[in-house]
Amino acid sequence: MNGEAIKVSVLMITYNHEKYISSAIEGVLMQKTTFPIELVIGEDCSLDSTRTICEMFFRKFSNQINLLPSETNHGMINNFIRTLEACKGDYIALCEGDDYWIDPLKLQRQVDFLESHLDYGMTYSKVKVFIEGTNRYKKQSFGKSISSIEELLLGNYIPTSTVLFRKKIYYSYMVDTQPYRFKWLMGDYPMWLYFVSESKIKFLDNIVSVYRILENSVSHSNDTNRDLIFQRSTLEIKLFFMRRYNLLKLERKIWEHYFSMRANKVILHNGNISEFNKELSNCSVHSNINSILYVLVNHSILRGIMRFYLSKKELILK
């Protein structure tokens, strides 16, 4: 690194990613920049050979890689925090161990933008989506321009593996929000909501990464109960930031989106109808859309029609 200060730290958390971690690391090492970067890997006591692979790369590229092994499993959020605290750069880029970058100019392009636009706190781009179960890419890329917290509360279109942000705005987020007080299952989405509220964020319209949808990840699970817990956690995050920034006008839409997701799971994956009805009856926000969802979920013929429609829609998107 020729004694220069590190400009960008690439934060990579990994757990049981032996099939993917080499591609993730190589995508970082291929970056072409005019400034020094480091790769900080938070290896969270994997049960497979992930740690061995990381150690192999560390021995070969010890001047670029800072490996943080662990003798106990910290869990995703705590592993993220400990890894970020080890980052030395002014900017933080994210790439989890099951994703990988495909654009060698990703970091250079993003840093060039933020260096010349001091009122922006974060940049991001688009990803190609690879579905592990079918071994193919989705037809559509993922990621689109978001300019306000209102937009972001109604849909998260920011791919984590494309993001680069200023480290100082992250520290502001930790002080102002204190996310460790909560049991949120997402570490990235709350940050995006804070960043877009406290600074500007920039969408650079190009594909820079591949995002893998694994069959049993936290955000994409075949376990209906696990998926429900994740959806509820996402709802809690949205309601927290809605109240923090006094955006109560969005509450009805947030609940409608939540129950639409819940109804999809009930219809497509034979979820618990009584649990859905209980949640809907306990919701204090009344909505015509939610009333329609109630009818669709509880009528067997309509449920069958919707199952056919939604399954066809999923096939088209794939």
The enclosing domain of 63 has a CATH number of: 3.90.550.10
Based on the fold, state whether residues 253 and 197 are members of the same structural domain.
no
Asked if the structure places residue 218 within a domain, the reply is no
- The per-residue pLDDT for 4 is 80
The predicted pLDDT at position 215 comes to 67
**Cα–Cα distances in angstroms (integers) from residue 61 to residues 29, 55, 312, in the given order:** 9, 10, 47
For residue 226, being part of any structural domain is answered with no
Q: How many domains does the chain have?
A: 2
Q: Which two tokens stand for residue 245?
A: 């920034």
Residues 156 and 302 in one domain: no
* 285 assigned to some structural domain: yes
Alpha-carbon distance of 165 to 292, in angstroms, equals 41
Q: Residues, the chain, total?
A: 318
The pLDDT value recorded for residue 221 is 47
Predicted TM-score of the model (pTM): 0.91
**Is 25 a member of any domain?**
yes
Kindly state whether residues 201 and 269 are assigned to the same domain. Answer: no
Q: At what angle do helices 224-244 and 251-269 cross, to 10 degrees?
A: 170
3-state secondary structure of 34: coil
209 and 260 inside one domain:
no
At residue 219 the predicted structure's pLDDT band, cuts being 50, 70 and 90, is: very low
Is there a single domain that holds both residue 48 and residue 144?
yes
Question: According to the model, what pLDDT value does residue 214 have?
Answer: 84
Residue 236 lies in a domain: no
Specify the residue for token string 């075949």: 222
Given 154, 188, 213, the domain boundary residue is: 213
Task: Tell me, yes or no, whether 170 and 67 share the same domain.
Answer: yes
Look at phi and psi of residue 40 and say left if phi exceeds 0, alpha if psi is from -120 to 50, else beta: beta
**Domain end call among 213, 232, 263:** 213
Are residues 11 and 83 in contact, defined by beta-carbon separation less than 8 angstroms? yes
Q: Please answer whether residues 253 and 154 qualify as being in contact, where contact means their C-beta atoms are separated by less than 8 angstroms.
A: yes
Q: Which of 194, 213, 232 is the last residue of a domain?
A: 213
pLDDT tens readout for residues 92-122: 999 999 999 999 999 999 999 999 999 999 9
Q: Where in the sequence is the domain holding 296, given as residue range(s)? A: 247-317
Give the residue ranges of DSSP H helices in the chain.
Answer: 21-29, 50-60, 76-85, 106-116, 149-153, 167-177, 188-198, 224-244, 251-269, 273-282, 288-298, 300-317
259 in any annotated domain: yes
**Are 205 and 254 part of one and the same domain?**
no
Q: What DSSP line would sit under 93-140, residue for residue?
A: EE--TT-EE--TTHHHHHHHHHHH-TTEEEEEEEEEEEETTTTEE-SS
The answer to whether residue 136 is domain-embedded is yes
- Would you say residue 228 lies in a domain? no
